[in-house]
């Protein structure tokens, strides 16, 4: 039984990350804004936010 989870990560280039997850890995794109995109990754939500990778500061604001 799948227990879906949400994982948000920072990426340097949103277009490149979108292409990798959607075109290469086959993830399905969901909601998006100029600074982030959600993808369904094998039933789990992965949120890709523009920002320094591995940063621990709050960089994404959803629902603006």
Per-residue pLDDT band for 59 (boundaries 50, 70, 90) equals low
Closest by CA position to 49, among listed 26, 27, 17: 17
Predicted TM-score (pTM) of this structure: 0.75
Q: What is the pLDDT of residues 1-16, one digit of tens each?
A: 778 788 899 999 999 9
Q: What is the pLDDT of residues 13-39, one digit of tens each?
A: 999 999 999 999 999 999 999 999 999
Token reading at 48? 């890709």
- Kind and range of the H or E run holding 17: helix 14-18
């Amino acid at each position: 039984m799948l227990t879906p989870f949400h994982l948000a990560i920072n990426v340097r280039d949103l277009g490149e990350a979108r292409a990798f997850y959607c075109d290469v890995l086959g993830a399905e794109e969901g909601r998006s804004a100029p600074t982030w995109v959600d993808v369904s990754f094998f039933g789990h939500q992965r949120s890709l936010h523009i920002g320094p990778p591995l940063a621990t500061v709050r960089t994404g604001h959803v629902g603006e």
